[in-house]
Amino acid sequence: MKNTTRVGQQLSLWGVAAIIFGSAIGCGSPPPATNPNTGQTVKTGTGQEVNQVAANKFNDAMAALTKHDSANDWAPATCESTAAAFKEAASEQGGKTFYEALYNAGLAQQRCKNDAAAKEIFENVLSKSPKFHRARVQVALYDYRASDGKGIEKAITEMERAIKDADFQNVEALVNLAGLQMRRDSDKSGDLCKNDFACAKRNLTRALAINDAFMPAFNQLAIYYLESAKKKAGRKRKGRRRRVSAASSRRKKADTAGLELAALVCSQALRKNPRYAPVYNTSGLISYELGDLSAAARAFGQARKLDTLFFDAHMNYAAVNQQFRGFKRAEDAYRQALKLQPKDYAAHLGLALALRGQINDVNFDKMLGEATKELEIAKKLQPNRAETYYNLAILTQEFRTREGGEAAEAVLKQAQTMYQDFVTKAGAEPVYADGVKRAKERMEEIGQMITFNQESRAAAKEDAERRKAAVIAQKKAEADAAAAKAAGGDAAPAPTDGPNPGAPAADPN
């Protein structure tokens, strides 16, 4: 089955749920009108009997969803038709709302990242059935996404409510709660746990105890050990996404024992389900931390192959290839990522670097123009991000000055201004400290270069003027000599001062 991740993340925090039915219907098999094992009438989670027509249509929709998951061939048309089939099953219940069918309609929309349509369905279900905990989980995740991480407290509260409403049997809510707790990373204690990380591990253990084949729980547990290894090394995580940097950076090495434990969890998970893309992505992150870039690239490549809509897998694959100068592969992956999220700043910035790495004499103008275009797009998307200005300065300094002369000096001054813009926007942020140092060094180098060029031009001009004066003096001397020769014949003109050196000395007496 294809398991995608929402919002381009590799975390199960945004993972699409497995196909889930109401508690009275069961999980993993579509509901018949009567239970073939017990002979009892099948009911929805709210206690409504499911009529035979509704059950048949639910079965058909369920078969279509399973088929497309297995074939990994979801497309806009199939997402719409499958969602419509579940809605039709719900409508056959008449005035008795078949919430499980509607919920699955939302899941079908999620398969194609139709998040607006999916959220509308989940909100509709939740408004009519506040105890429908699976819809609550999905709405909470969408709201958290919209808050750009600022609504984490509300999201945690909603997850905790969903878990209680499910009598602690909702494994998806437990896994997502664990992910949120790891993001918050506070000292808040919980039920038999002393802080967020300890509580996260406890919730993951609970989830796997309920369902030891739930892949998002395995993936989140591997991420737990990965993040714990970083914490042990004194590294603090920033931002909501776990991604490889497009350029190698100086960072404290994560605890090797913790990383190996995370890798072991990934290995166990892939033995259970070798087609679950998020675990490959997490495995790539672990390999990257261990310094094995080749293994990281293979894992990220497998993740994006299994799930072509996996934004972060494309980004991570591109970033790792960028580090060992696989610029064309990086370019292709960044372009794939931008098809999914056309306004992602990091993707445009990364693409610019991949294009810059491929500039040569044959494609110079084309690649330079495309790289500049991507940086300008990035600057418009996030005008206050310092990295853009640094990379524009590099592009200007290193590639727009090859003609030399005074024109190059003007371009160097532009680069100098861009470096200063970077320094100003970077401020005192520790993450930019090395970049600020390099930018200042480059600004000083440019200043020295401009001064040297100016002094060289002045010296060359002075030397040219001396040479010109010497030539003029030589020509004048030659002209004077020629004139004198013409006036006095072959004899040399007598000097105007002193005795004639050819005459006898005068007698003093």
Q: What is the pLDDT of residues 141-151, one digit of tens each?
A: 999 999 988 99
pLDDT of residue 238: 57
Residue 377 Cα distances to 165, 482, 496, angstroms: 46, 72, 82
Q: Which residues contact 470 (CB under 8 A, 6 or more apart)?
A: none
Q: 40 with 34: CB under 8 angstroms?
A: yes
What pLDDT band is residue 460 in, cutting at 50, 70 and 90? confident
Asked if the model's pLDDT at residue 185 lies above 90, the reply is yes
* Model pLDDT, residue 498: 47
pLDDT at 473: 87
Query: For the residues 157-171, what does the mean pLDDT come to?
Result: 96
Does residue 13 register a pLDDT over 60?
no
Spell 458-469 as b/e; 16+ CB within 10 A means b: eeeeeeeeeeee
Percentage of the chain modeled with pLDDT above 90: 62
Overall average pLDDT of the 427-444 stretch: 92
pLDDT recorded at residue 491: 46
Per the confidence metrics, is the pTM higher than 0.85?
no
The set of residues, in sequence order, having a beta carbon less than 8 Å from that of 12 and lying 6+ positions away, is 5, 175, 176, 179, 215, 216, 217, 219, 220, 278
List the Cα angle 136/155/147 in 5-degree steps: 110
pLDDT exceeds cutoff 90 at 303 = yes
Q: Going by C-beta distance under 8 Å and a sequence separation of 6 or more, which residues neighbour residue 115?
A: 6, 109, 142
What does the pLDDT look like over 223-252, one tens digit per residue? Answer: 999 999 999 888 776 555 667 765 555 567
Please say if the pLDDT value at position 24 is more than 80.
Answer: no
Give the residue-averaged pLDDT of 426-450: 90
Give residue 119's pLDDT: 96
Which region among 206-210, 247-251, 341-345 has the lowest average model confidence (pLDDT)? 247-251
Instruction: With a cut of 50, say whether residue 503 has pLDDT above it.
Output: no
Is 368's pLDDT higher than 80?
Answer: yes
CA–CA separation, 367 and 358 (whole Å): 7
Give dist(CA 78, CA 75) in Å, integer.
5
pLDDT tens digits for range 104-141: 999 999 999 899 999 999 999 999 999 999 999 999 99
Residue-wise pLDDT for 68-111, tens only, equals 988 888 899 999 999 999 999 999 887 678 899 999 999 999 99
Instruction: Name the residue ranges covered by the structural domains of the chain.
Output: 1-128, 384-472
* Distance from C-alpha of 347 to C-alpha of 334, rounded to nearest angstrom: 6
Lowest mean pLDDT among 153-157, 183-187, 248-252: 248-252
Q: Confidence band (pLDDT; 50, 70, 90) for 509?
A: very low
Assign 338 a pLDDT band (cuts: 50, 70, 90): very high
Tokens of 235: 């590294």
CB atoms within 10 A of CB 23: 18
What's the pLDDT at 479? 87
- The structure tokens listed for 436 are 């600020």
Query: In terms of C-beta density within 10 A (0-12 exposed, 13-18 middle, 19 or more buried), how is residue 477 classed?
Result: exposed
pLDDT of residue 36: 65
- Compute the distance between CA of residue 314 and CA of residue 308 in angstroms, rounded to an integer: 8
pLDDT tier at 35 (50, 70, 90 boundaries)? low
Q: Within a 10 A sphere around the Cβ of 28, how many other Cβ atoms?
A: 8
**How far is it, in rounded angstroms, from Cα 216 to Cα 226?**
15
Which range, 169-183, 398-412, 446-460, has the best average confidence (pLDDT)? 169-183
DSSP structure string for 300-363: HHHHHHH-TT-HHHHHHHHHHHHHTT-HHHHHHHHHHHHHH-TT-HHHHHHHHHHHHTT--TTT
Q: Give the span between the Cα atoms of 257 and 292, in whole angstroms.
A: 15
Residue 494 has pLDDT above 70, yes or no: no
